[in-house]
Structure 1
């Protein structure tokens, strides 16, 4: 990925991150759907197909694009309409299932994912080498609270097709938390196994730090004395080790090349500031270039406000 210059950029929420083609698609979809004409669906389907089917085999980029588009269209009828018109289009089926999962909060068991699993399995049959139907099914499994043997079966199907799929690792991490289908011990075992074998710049390399941010959020959520001293979480044990492992490499130009690299840099900047490691955070903010992700800045309030305040603190006194 190409990093932006160190000159301060105006902060902005950009779900597409540095994927300019994806950003143009989102703007085009927004403009097209506003017209309300009969031809709108056909035009949108053509736009989606052109981008989402681009570069077959780059599963990291394809997963990122489907994830962002599904969130963008979570309140739209478009994915369902696309499947109705092209029932044997694997991309349409995956987007439809992913969009259904995006509508349902991870802690809400009442959401509608009624035909999402079937859509994933049909897509997997149509595109046997593509991991995204299985990633989508993993998301559906979380929403529907599948039992662990079933979820691990889906997980293994993803890994057989894309060993370091970031979205799959993040979903498994969330599923294994005590808040969903697992325990703190399972999270630790999952992260330990990951750290032991993952290349330093793999797409899923942010999983370990994400686990620490999730634990930090849980500490803040408990309130009281623990929340008051939550900063110490980042100065000891596994949290400090997680930061130390990546702080001097992630911000280097060209080190992280996966589609959601800027999301991982946002994660790192947040963790460094939470641990009051301001000098190290400065270089990370420069690499981010003002492209802000909702997570994890939303933990403290409005993401843009939290990001800008943290950036000012990091650069104060230079």
Structure 2
């Protein structure tokens, strides 16, 4: 039907993914901050606090919401204002530190690393069971290129509270990468160690495929003949096996249940298209619907345009 096909074609960049409460909050923050009233900050703080206090103990959902909010508010005065007004709010302190990390990634450095560390440690004291202060601190340590003993110490604090915390593993993968002072061998050892003990549908299940996509991008970035034949990366044993494992399970209804499942499915669709496995990619695109993540699609240009073009290629003739 024309109506259904037009709905299928409609795509949007959605950092909140399928988290409806978070999506409503992001829209509300935009509308509220545009009012310019004296009470704007108070209203925004109340809205953020309400959402972050939901689902206590669901660390996966809490980490997702912190991560998205921090990226959304990078450069905003709101997190600092909230932490200043409520210095004993773990939510405020973690969001303030995490926003500093998000801004630091954009700038290449932290403006106040000591202040970010202090916010994380105070939040950890206020909420000892919560892994998110330690996830934020791991982001600080990564940006600061701290010694591995210190970084792994922080990472272990996260895992003691949330064994398969997705953002912790993403940070460690980045920290161990050649681009950040690690090596390809360290990445491989890290991924192998994880795969040996991780449940197949854990929140951090995409780390292995993420590592392969990073390697694929490194080949593309080298340019020349290597970039022209970069697709052959996906026929190599480790890359092919990682892609096979994901392709055979992730798209099954209910298999992935974590907060960033749609982000992982975007990654899978991207990798399948890079490997020219269009039929399998088409099935994944159907599961995704129109929810687009900035990474990895932005590596080809505008993420929404890239996603839509790849989806059309995958479903052509179906």
Structure 1 residue 110: deviation in Å?
6.0
SS, match of residue 104 in structure 1: helix
Q: Which has the higher contact order (CA 8 A, sep 6+)?
A: 1
Listed as ranges, the gaps of 5+ residues in structure 2 are none
Partner of 1:198: 198
Supply the distance in 2 between the matched residues of 1:114 and 1:16 (Cα, whole angstroms).
30
Note the alpha carbon deviations across 1:91-147, whole angstroms, 9 max, x for none. Answer: 100000000000012782364434111100000011000000000000111111111
Report which stretch shifted further, 223-232 or 299-308: 299-308
SS, match of residue 8 in structure 1: helix
Question: Is residue 302 of structure 1 aligned with residue 310 of structure 2?
Answer: no
Supply the distance in 2 between the matched residues of 1:77 and 1:278 (Cα, whole angstroms).
44
Partner of 1:131: 131
Supply the distance in 2 between the matched residues of 1:122 and 1:106 (Cα, whole angstroms).
25
SS, match of residue 268 in structure 1: helix
| Greater helix proportion | 2
Question: Is residue 315 of structure 1 aligned with residue 315 of structure 2?
Answer: yes
Supply the distance in 2 between the matched residues of 1:102 and 1:132 (Cα, whole angstroms).
14
Note the alpha carbon deviations across 1:48-97, whole angstroms, 9 max, x for none. Answer: 11001111100000000010011111121000000111001001000000
Note the alpha carbon deviations across 1:216-248, whole angstroms, 9 max, x for none. Answer: 000000000100000000111111000111102
Partner of 1:145: 145
Contact 1:169 1:207 survives alignment (8 Å): yes
SS, match of residue 66 in structure 2: helix
Listed as ranges, the gaps of 5+ residues in structure 1 are none
CA RMSD of superposed structures (Å) = 1.6
Matched residues, number: 315
Partner of 2:254: 254
Question: Is residue 272 of structure 1 aligned with residue 280 of structure 2?
Answer: no
Partner of 2:34: 34
Supply the distance in 2 between the matched residues of 1:274 and 1:170 (Cα, whole angstroms).
21
Normalized against structure 2, the TM-score is what? 0.96
Question: Is residue 245 of structure 1 aligned with residue 245 of structure 2?
Answer: yes
Supply the distance in 2 between the matched residues of 1:31 and 1:280 (Cα, whole angstroms).
40
Partner of 2:284: 284
Supply the distance in 1 between the matched residues of 2:306 and 2:15 (Cα, whole angstroms).
17
SS, match of residue 164 in structure 1: coil
Partner of 2:210: 210
Matching of residues 94-133 of structure 1 within 5 Å? 94-105=94-105, 108-109=108-109, 111-133=111-133
Matching of residues 147-162 of structure 1 within 5 Å? 147-162=147-162
Contact 1:104 1:112 survives alignment (8 Å): no
Structure 1 residue 9: deviation in Å?
4.5
Matching of residues 152-231 of structure 1 within 5 Å? 152-231=152-231
Structure 1 residue 198: deviation in Å?
0.6
Supply the distance in 1 between the matched residues of 2:111 and 2:309 (Cα, whole angstroms).
36
Note the alpha carbon deviations across 1:162-210, whole angstroms, 9 max, x for none. Answer: 0000011001000000111311111000000111111011000000000
Supply the distance in 1 between the matched residues of 2:21 and 2:108 (Cα, whole angstroms).
33
